[in-house]
Amino acid sequence: MNSEPRVVNIGILGCGVVGGALVELIHERREAIIASAGVELRVTHVAVRSASRERPGVPNELLTTDTRSVVEADDVDVIVEVIGGIEPAQELIRAALASGKPVVSANKELLANYGAELSAAADEAGVDLLFEAAVAGAIPIVRPLRESLLGEDITRIMGIVNGTTNYILTKMSEEGASYEAALAEAQRLGYAEADPTADVGGFDAGAKAAIMASIAFGARVVAGDVYHEGISDITKADIDYANALGYEIKLLAIAEVLEGEQREVGVRVHPAMVECNHPLASVRDSFNAVFVEGRSAGELMFYGRGAGGRPTASAVLGDLIDAASNVVAGTHRSVPVGAPCKIRPIDDIESAYYLNADVVDSPGVLAQVAAVFGEHGLSIRSMNQEGGNGEDDGAQARIAFVTHSAKERSLQAALHDLRELDAVLSIGSVLRVIEG
Ligand code: HSE
């Protein structure tokens, strides 16, 4: 580009691993950004919690603990929010938008709860609110859903969108680690927090599912609409069973459009047995992937690093260049705010299931169990039995079933009745099954 680049001043709220990596990347990529976009990004202020800590690569004179002053500074054209959490991030973003400053945010929790309101505020102010980094880190998924797939009728999204839990499940599957040992290793490596609840309980993945559902289906879906189950009850035995049957256990975030009397959206996060020939089954370690199904495009998969300083900063930087270019052009991308939609309750969601139970090994027991399945409309797809010697008094066996697709309500009713049978000693694992 021959003409002088336009300087766009950046104020960054937060300087943790992502904020620090972003400052470094802006510096490293300066010439390339000027060449490709014709803008020079200049970081003028960085708001931090404590200005006394050393931050390699971030000049001290940029640091301030006064977050509001960064939003209000005359030499800030675009705000980047990488603080995380609801407040003060929300209040700061609203103030920035109201004063006509575009915002780039990586804040999944905030966007999953207030995304529609904040997008409306951005639109009203005529500026961008961009948040590629809020879902699956470096993986481009927000922009493809919003732009490349705008004409597509997306029916379902299934994602492995939490690296910590994928790391734990991979260690359990490939190295035989217990859940506790794999979690401790994830904490040692800095993937899992000291309090791992947001990751292992499925809340982090749930926020990402809500954001993806809102964009993909043009619907107003918030974090509270997402049903979650985490991975803390998954045992090594569950993983061994799954592997023996040709499945991997993965924590999936699933968002789907369900046709019926009216269009509904189902959004859930839970562990599932994913058949080994499904592309999601081979997503290992702390990697993320999002599998999108559309009526015309068919199946698409987006794969990569879902967390970490530089991968997340890379996604923030892409948005930042877009927002800065729009500032220079005096334009912004108008984002339609999703329409209210009906969320289908988990009881009405259909899935295939795997379950196992320890039973008395004597004549007629399998018939009693099968009768319960039949009474609740659950069709058995496959069954196997381990152990037992029906000739001995007190002999037990473990029986395992995979069902055809059925409603959660029917499965729960069958489990209730199975527990009432004298011959059923205990129900073991119950997992949803995703076929390849
Ligand atoms: N804690 C998340 C993960 C990254 O483990 O994937 C941030 O969303």
For residue 372, the domain's CATH number is 3.30.70.260
Tokens of 159: 């994602």
Grouping H, G, I as helix, E, B as strand and the rest as coil, residue 432 is strand
Give the structural domain span for 329: 6-137+310-338
Which atom of ligand 1 is nearest to 204's Cα? 8
Report if residue 1 sits inside a domain.
no
Whether 30 is in a domain gets the answer yes
298 with 315, same domain?
no
Q: What is the pLDDT of residue 334?
A: 83
Tell me, yes or no, whether 253 lies in a domain: yes
Using 50, 70 and 90 to split pLDDT, how confident is the model at 391?
low
Ligand 1 atom nearest residue 199's Cα: 1
pLDDT given at position 126: 97
Work out the number of other CB atoms within 10 angstroms of the CB of residue 295.
9
Compute the distance between CA of residue 249 and CA of residue 228 in angstroms, rounded to an integer. Answer: 16
Q: What is the pLDDT of residues 257-293, one digit of tens each?
A: 998 888 999 999 999 999 999 999 999 999 999 999 9
**How far is CA 226 from each of CA 173, 213, 251, rounded to the nearest angstrom?**
27, 10, 14
In the residue annotation, 236 being an active-site residue is answered as: no
Contact residues for 286 (Cβ-Cβ < 8 A; gap 6+): 163, 164, 166, 167, 191, 305, 306, 307
Give the CATH number, domain containing residue 292.
3.30.360.10
- Same domain, yes or no: 286 and 316: no
Asked whether residue 236 is domain-assigned, the answer is yes
Say whether both 279 and 394 belong to one domain.
Answer: no
Query: Is 107 touching ligand 1 by the criterion CB < 6 Å?
Result: no
199 lines ligand 1 (CB under 6 A): yes
C-alpha dist (Å) from residue 183 to 162, 173, 261: 13, 13, 44
**Over the stretch 221-265, which tens digit does the pLDDT of each residue have?**
999 999 999 999 999 989 999 999 999 999 999 999 998 888 999
User: Do 80 and 174 reside in the same domain of the chain?
Assistant: no
- 246 touches 266 (CB < 8 A): no
- Indicate whether 220 and 91 sit together in one domain: no
Whether 306 is in the pocket of ligand 1, judged by its Cβ within 6 Å, is yes
204 lines ligand 1 (CB under 6 A): yes
Q: Are residues 252 and 354 in the same domain?
A: no
Shared domain for 296 and 194, answered yes or no, is yes
Residues 6+ apart with CB under 8 A from 322: 128, 130, 333
Alpha helices in 218-301 (DSSP H): 236-245
Same-domain check for residues 164 and 272: yes
- Do 365 and 409 belong to one domain? yes
* Same domain membership, residue 410 and residue 273: no
Q: Clarify whether residues 39 and 158 are in a common domain.
A: no
The best mutation among 141, 171, 199, 212 to test binding of ligand 1, ranked by most ligand atoms within 8 Å of the C-beta, falls on 199
Which is the closest atom of ligand 1 to the Cα of 164? 5
Count of structural domains within the chain: 3
Q: Is the peptide bond before 102 cis (omega within 30 degrees of 0)?
A: no
**Which residues, at least 6 apart from 332, have a Cβ–Cβ distance to it below 8 Å?**
102, 122, 123, 126, 127, 128, 326
